[in-house]
Amino acid sequence: MHALPLVCEDVLTAFDHPEDGDDLDAAIVEVLIQRLANKSLAHRDALIGQFVWSGDFSVAAGGSLTSFSCRVGAIGKLFVADSLGVYRTGSAIESSVTQAKIEGGGGTLGAVARYWYVYAFLTTLGAVDYAISLTGPSSDKRFKSGDATRVYVGCFRTLSTGAPLPAHKVGGCYLYRASALGSNELRVINVSAATGATNQSLAALVPPHARMAKLTLAATGDSNEAALSIYYPGDTAAASARLYAATGFSASAQVDVATDDSQTVDYAVTGSGSPAATVHVAGFYE
């Protein structure tokens, strides 16, 4: 037997094939099979990780480290290899993913504040299944890092108690469900005096693979107008967002700002007297 080395390419030229009366030997057949096999490999590689779904993902309120529920929207098409390396296509209706899908079979998130990641994969029967892992997505945010059989669906943050923070994701936009959380669980900045440019980490509420945060800004003016400014870290030449509050008045706004790869921003508060400002992380973009 002769093993053909495959090349991942789809050459757009016409096929030459024998006509009636032409010789048909192994060399001629090999050329045809080679072209078809190369095309097949190119098309398969282009489709690996093809994930057509609603883009909806949510984490229910009231969960604990051993009892919680995530909702994954309907999946129209998922094309990946199963555990045996066989490439399959699967689909699924909207599904509930619980502690039963935590990798390792422990059934608990642990009483630790950290991020967990949800992945979809295919069984050897071609059925869609799910896994909850501590391993984040690959740099292209498509697969589980180091495992192209798992396709990234969404993530969630836990408190130090292990309870997941409730959130909703549509497409690549996450919003925390603030109404189901304590008033300070999403707060990252709380000042009551003028403050020069200061670095602030958002990493407790913005995951490592995200570079855009959705913030709720609030400011109160005292004896003069107050201004709360958010900057890209290390770059105060121009603000990413700025909120003004008149003397004796309060103001609020929701803004989207870029972060660096450590999920930090800089902020500053100006104004005389005791200008006050708070910042809450409303969500983030993937």
What are 78-129's pLDDT values in tens digits? 999 999 999 999 999 999 999 999 999 889 999 999 999 999 999 999 999 9
Predicted confidence at residue 116, as pLDDT, reads 98
> Over the chain (286 residues), what is each successive 10-residue block's mean pLDDT?
76 70 68 79 82 96 98 97 94 98 94 98 96 97 96 98 98 96 93 96 98 98 96 96 97 98 97 97 98
Three-class SS of residue 253?
Answer: strand
Predicted confidence at residue 159, as pLDDT, reads 96
* Cα 79 versus chain centre, distance: 19
Which tokens in the block code for residue 117? 């990641």
Q: Angle at the Cα of 189 (from 206 to 58), degrees rounded to 5?
A: 30
